[in-house]
Structure 1
Amino acid sequence: MRLRPAPLEDWLRDYYFAADIDISSSGVETYTMAELRAKAGVRQADIDSLVFDDGYSVGRPALRELIARGWGDGDPSKVMTANGSSEAISLVLATVLSPGDEVVVVEPGYHLLVEYAVSLGCVTRPWRLAPQRGWRPAMEELESLVTERTRAIVLNFPQNPTGAAVTADELRRIVALAGRAGAYLLWDAAFTSLVYDTEPLPPVSTLYERGIDFGTFSKAFGLPGLRFGWCIAPPDVIAGCVRIRDYTTLHVAPLIELLATAVLDNAPAFLGPRLEQAAGNRRIVAEWAAAQGDRVSLVLPSGGVAAFPRLSGMDNTDAFCDDLFKRHGVLVIPGSCFGAPQHIRLGFGGPTRQLTEGLERLAAALPEWTG
């Protein structure tokens, strides 16, 4: 297994902790421990009574039941908790894929969902989202990519970095395509709760026997530092993941699972305020982009908290993003990290005041680069 560099992580490693203003993130404003305890009703006595024994290979039973009821079909045997959804995704991919398998992936896309299959020796067939279509996924193109040789279809809608989404009818078409091919349908549901004009899509694990859902605290819940996630998958896939995990992380830490149980038991208290804030910030981004005229071309995202505007006059935004950070203290992500170098990823899930200041500095920097 040979993993290629992850450009997004390389970029963030150099800039993330030193930025004055971060408007790059694909997650919402993060909560503090005090806020978590208040919203979830975690008492000091709950923490003090915790014993730091080893944990369950697939997760604490009460926590798995909670995830199964809230995000699956109620069957906890299909649930595995994980050290972030990234662990769950990599474990599932390593379990269901073999060298030579064909895998449909979305581009531009998050590196784990695209590159991990390549490292396993698989052949990826990109489903490309085009800015000319407003990043709208072309279902007829997906139909041409899925064949009897397709082992897995790996999707994340609402999508990172474009914010594109699919409708409920399109989801049913995707499920039907996967079913005809006998392929696994892996669905990164990190942004499912962050939608603005529609209801969240149902979990694919409730629609299809080979549907696999992934959840995370890193985006809509505002708790990326907990590194907690999960997957809902067929029990035989869960068993395969455990075989691999026995050589790596073994389990999720008991403290993390204690906090995760409390958070999921009070999920609306975490999700609701951040969705409301994101909706308001999304309007600010739309107004800002319109005020920039021809310098910025933006397709307003249907979901998530990241926009993917194109900056005029730049074939590659790397140098601009570097200059924006060094001279103006503002962090955004160059589109080259996602294979779309004329764009930037602009996050709007954070504090509104920080977003407004970051956009003002971004607007002030644009004329020198866009003419």
Structure 2
Amino acid sequence: MRMGPARLEDWLRDRYFTATYDLSSSGVEPWSYGELRDRLGLDPARLDRIRFTDNPSLGNGCLREALAARFAGGDPDRVMTTHGSSEAAFLVFNELLSAGDRVVVVEPAYHALRDVPEAIGCEVVPWRLPAERDFAADLAELDRLVAPGTRMVIVNLPHNPTGATITAAQQRELVDVVRGAGAYLLWDAAFAELTYGGPALPDPALTYRRCISLGTLSKAYGLPGLRVGWCVADPDLLPRLLPLRDRMTLALSPLVEFVATAAVRRAGVLLADRLRQAAENRESLLAWAATAPGVAPLAPPAAGVTAFPRLLVDDVDAFCTGLLAAEGVLLAPGSCFGHPDRVRLGYGGNRRDFELGLERTSAMLAKVAR
């Protein structure tokens, strides 16, 4: 398997650590361990008792039980913990896909959802969310693309980078399309708990046997540095993912799973604070977009913590480079997602820094906007 560069990661790799104002990220503001300790009641004595042994291949029982209670109908046999949801996706793709398989992938997409099937040799068919319709999902188009014999459909909804999503009724229609073709559904639910004014979409892995859903602590939970993800799937599938994992990562760290278990068990404590902050930032974003020079009309992102505005400048990549150099503000150019006239703008971060970043972006746009 050979893969080319990951454009988004190449862009962020060094810039992320030098920016003063990060408006590129797709998650909420990360927590410090001290903040977690206070909010989750982490007992230092329990940390002292952790032994750095190997963990079970499918994950520590306590963490699997906590995840199952929240996401898998209470059945830990349906849960596998992984190094971020990207590892889960990689294992699933390599187990279920072969060269020549027809795979329908939402577009734009995070590179891991598209590049791995391409590297396997699949026929990758894009299901495009149309920019001219504010990236609203066209389920009739999906039905047309999911021809008989399609092996897998890959979606991430709510959507990164656009913030678009679908209703529960549309989700049922989507699952029916996939079921009708007998295909697998890879449901990336990284943004599932980042919604505004409505409940999260239900997990289709609980109602469709050939669905694998992915989750992560990196986005809504503010814990990207833990590198904890999971998949929810039919219990018969999960052991099939182990031969490849046995040759890669083996398992998660006991220390990581201890912190992750506490975070999932008391998820509401972490989610409420960060979702409130994201909602406030979202209002600031919409007010900014309505008046900032060089920003095309922006539909309110329905979920997640990213927007995908179109900038009225001659070269968005050059603008992003200049913005970081002159103002210390980091944006992710839309060329990383196949839309070179846009930027991914993350609004989940620290409120003060977010508003300062927007002000500095406006100052730069005023100099170069068409």
Same fold by TM-score greater than 0.5: yes
CA distance in 2, matches of 1:299, 1:207: 32
Residue 217 of structure 1 corresponds to 217
Residue 366 of structure 2 corresponds to 367
Q: CA deviation at 1:159?
A: 0.4
Q: Identical aligned pairs, as a percentage?
A: 48
Q: CA deviation at 1:74?
A: 2.1
Task: Confirm or deny that 1:7 pairs with 2:7.
Answer: yes
Question: Do 2:162 and 2:308's aligned partners in 1 also have CA atoms closer than 8 Å?
Answer: yes
Give secondary structure in 2 for the equivalent of 1:298.
Answer: coil
Q: CA deviation at 1:77?
A: 1.3
Q: CA deviation at 1:112?
A: 0.6
| TM-score normalised per structure 2 | 0.98
CA distance in 2, matches of 1:69, 1:258: 16
Q: CA deviation at 1:106?
A: 1.0
Residue 136 of structure 1 aligns with an amino acid whose one-letter code is A
Residue 73 of structure 2 corresponds to 73
Residue 369 of structure 1 aligns with an amino acid whose one-letter code is V
Residue 299 of structure 2 corresponds to 299
The total of aligned residue pairs comes to: 370
Q: CA RMSD in A?
A: 1.1
Residue 237 of structure 2 corresponds to 237
| TM-score normalised per structure 1 | 0.98
Question: Do 2:306 and 2:347's aligned partners in 1 also have CA atoms closer than 8 Å?
Answer: yes
CA distance in 1, matches of 2:36, 2:241: 30
Unaligned runs of 5+ in 1: none
Q: CA deviation at 1:116?
A: 1.1
CA gap of 1:254–1:366, structure 2 versus 1, over 3 A, is same
Residue 349 of structure 2 aligns with an amino acid whose one-letter code is G
Unaligned runs of 5+ in 2: none
Q: CA deviation at 1:250?
A: 0.4
Q: Deviations over 1:226-282 (max 9, x none)?
A: 001110112232112111101010001111111111111100001111111101100
Q: Deviations over 1:53-89 (max 9, x none)?
A: 1110000112212211210122211110011111111
Residue 323 of structure 1 corresponds to 322
Q: CA deviation at 1:38?
A: 1.6
CA gap of 1:341–1:38, structure 2 versus 1, over 3 A, is same
Q: Deviations over 1:20-53 (max 9, x none)?
A: 1111111001100011112222111111001111
Hey, which bits of structure 1, 4+ residues long, moved more than 4 A? none
Task: Confirm or deny that 1:82 pairs with 2:86.
Answer: no
CA distance in 1, matches of 2:364, 2:293: 14
CA distance in 2, matches of 1:280, 1:207: 34
Task: Confirm or deny that 1:342 pairs with 2:341.
Answer: yes
Q: CA deviation at 1:294?
A: 5.5
Residue 190 of structure 1 corresponds to 190
Residue 197 of structure 2 aligns with an amino acid whose one-letter code is D
Residue 179 of structure 1 aligns with an amino acid whose one-letter code is R
Question: Do 1:95 and 1:237's aligned partners in 2 also have CA atoms closer than 8 Å?
Answer: no
Residue 318 of structure 1 aligns with an amino acid whose one-letter code is D
Residue 354 of structure 1 corresponds to 353
Question: Do 2:102 and 2:149's aligned partners in 1 also have CA atoms closer than 8 Å?
Answer: yes
Residue 95 of structure 1 corresponds to 95
Residue 198 of structure 1 aligns with an amino acid whose one-letter code is G
Residue 288 of structure 1 corresponds to 288
Give the stretch that moved more between structures: 348-357 or 361-370: 361-370
